[in-house]
Structure 1
Amino acid sequence: MTRIIVFAKAPVPGRVKTRLIPALGADGAAALARVMLIRTLDVAISSAVGEVELCMDPAPGAPSWQGITLPPGLSLSPQEQGDLGERMARAVMRRIDELPVILIGTDCVQISKVLLRDAANALTRADAVMNPCADGGYALFGLNRFDPSLFEGIAWSTASVAARTLARLAALGWRVHVGREVHDVDSPRDLDYWYRTMALGQSRC
């Protein structure tokens, strides 16, 4: 069994997917963020990999989350304060003594049941698993062990995130499985890829 932790912001216009606003408008960008949130949660739950936790910004119960119907079977937690690395580190530390942890966001076109199951299987043989993104970040990061260096001093949302994290894993001497490269939807140029993927029905495979 594995715990999947999904990091997500409430899909509030003007606060999410801001780089898509020139193409979709604030309301359209927020609507897409909402679709991606629910789709990711549905895929995570239906993967049957293990427990699914939604780590929320703002915290559960905040007005920003009102009117959003989340799938049943989730546990909810707050992201609290700090940069992305600090928030992810706290989420991992809360659970790593109980189960292996897989961290994902809601932006990846290719998050699927197969990808999640492959990652969980890899964690039976490796200390860490990663699916890097074409933009240099990562869409999935799974761990059997914790070390703070994996989350400290990283220039988040830059093209160096995956490479720097992999270098730190190598320095720790951990066994690492690197899965296939995937794509996030962050900018207008990514929208065609999103629409093609959805049209081909690849989102839940």
Structure 2
Amino acid sequence: MRRNSGSVIILFARHPEPGKTKTRLAVDTGPAAAAQMYRVCAEHVYGAAKATGFELLVSVPAQTPLEKMDAWLGAGQYHLQPGGTIGVKMRDAFEHVFKHGANRAILIGTDVPDVTSGLLTEAHAALQSDDVVIGPAMDGGFWLIGMNAAQPQLFANIEWSTDTVYERTVQNAAQSGLSLGRVAMLRDIDTYGALQEWLLEADEDHPLRRYMNAMSL
């Protein structure tokens, strides 16, 4: 990424390969459909991030063929994740962008279909007055986290992939004396049940809903 880049969005993504993408969702939909649904959702989130005008860094697993990512998204700027928990990966991504001159950064995933450029802009704006910003997810985790400086302690002592992730992260911020802003709660799509719940309220013209309708899923 460019040095002194100001506001940065870190996008956690992976190449949508059947059998390696959204495996919990694939239990009910099959691996090919799960990978394609992930592709559609990720492209929507990527578009929302690009529309903000902030610098965008795509963070991917270390073994990812970057030529495939470039052919898909054309992002150009990538961060290779280290091994370890999702907490280790997020901590490393934030340390990377602040080392390279970012003033503020937010991190999001690519499986939250209701992400909009407005919500991402709102999160960046929150960092003008708060040390940390977080977007809670309906499963007890978070879909967005942002900060003005690297705060590795935020990711400590958390049992990842549980419904206590958001609560524990908020506790870590409070124990560190950090002010915390919040943006809207959204749903991430990890399972077929979560997908069906999202569809109950999804806009008819959302690309993921259109794909689901076209495939009669």
Match of 2:73 among 39, 62, 70: 70
Shift in Å, 1:68: 4.6
Question: Contact 1:110–1:202 at 8 Å: present in 2 too?
Answer: no
Distance 1:142 1:202 in 2: 27
> Is the contact made by 2:11 and 2:58 (CA closer than 8 Å) also made in structure 1?
yes
Where does residue 5 of structure 1 map in the other structure? 10
Indicate yes or no: 2:160 matched with 1:152: no
Which residue of 77, 82, 85 maps to 1:83?
Answer: 85
Assess if the C-alpha contact under 8 Å between 1:105 and 1:140 holds in 2: yes
Map 1:124-143; keep pairs closer than 5 Å.
Answer: 124-143=128-147
Corresponding pairs, count: 200
Structure 1: segments with no counterpart, 5+ residues: none
In structure 2, give the amino acid aligned to 1:25: G
SS in 2 for 1:199: coil
- Code of the residue aligned with 1:133 in structure 2: it is A
**CA-CA distance at 1:145 after TM superposition:** 2.2
Q: Please provide the CA RMSD for this pair.
A: 2.1
Aligned residue in 1 for 2:19: 14
Deviation at 1:9, TM superposition (A): 2.0
| Structure 1 residue 42 displacement after superposition | 1.1
Q: Is 1:181 matched up with 2:178?
A: no
Q: Which residue of 1 aligns with 2:34?
A: 29
1:146-205: CA deviation from partner (whole Å, max 9, x where unpaired): 2222112211111010100000100111111022211111111122344442425499xx
Query: What is the SS of the residue equivalent to 1:197?
Result: coil
CA contact (8 A) 1:59 1:77 kept: no
* Kept in 2: contact 1:59–1:80 (CA 8 A): no
TM-score norm. by structure 1 comes to 0.89
The runs of at least 4 aligned residues of structure 1 exceeding 6 Å deviation read none
Q: Percent of counterpart pairs with the same letter?
A: 30
Q: C-alpha distance in 2, partners of 1:62/1:102?
A: 22
Structure 2: which 5+ residue stretches go unaligned?
Answer: 1-5, 209-217
Q: Is the 8 A contact 1:10 1:57 kept in 2?
A: no
Partner of 2:36, secondary structure, is helix
Could you give the per-residue CA deviations for residues 104-158 of structure 1, whole angstroms, max 9, x where no partner exists?
0001122111110100100111100000001000000001122222112211111
